Amino acid sequence: MEEYHIHTCIKFRPYRKSDADFIILRSDKPGCWSHVGRKDGGQVINLQPGCLRSGTIAHELLHAIGFRHQQSASDRDDYVTIVWNNIREGKIKLCTCITDPMYQSIQLGG
């Protein structure tokens, strides 16, 4: 989290009982994951011991604040070519473009 404080305007602080929304860091479920965007109440980021690398932690924190995978961006075809035959079975959904905006996402300008 310190990297965010140093390199961005995003600031994390300790939880206060008065906080309606907050991030919960835990490791009681398999894998490294977070839902995308703010969830009412606690937003879980699950980090198993194998996930405790700065890049993985930063990746999951980005999900928590609203960032999706770049391969799902609606304009991704302007920048990359997806070689569909190289994608493992069951993983195609990870490359499906998202066209509906997330109105609570930090990426939505206005």
**Residue 35, annotated as binding a ligand:** no
**Residue of 50, 54, 3, 1 whose CA lies nearest to 23:** 1
Spell out the residues 6+ positions from residue 68 whose beta carbon is closer than 8 angstroms to its own: 36, 98, 102
For the entire predicted model, the pTM comes to 0.70
**Segment 61-91, tens digit of pLDDT:** 999 998 888 777 778 788 878 788 888 888 7
**Residue 7, annotated as binding a ligand:** no
The residues carrying an active-site annotation are: 60
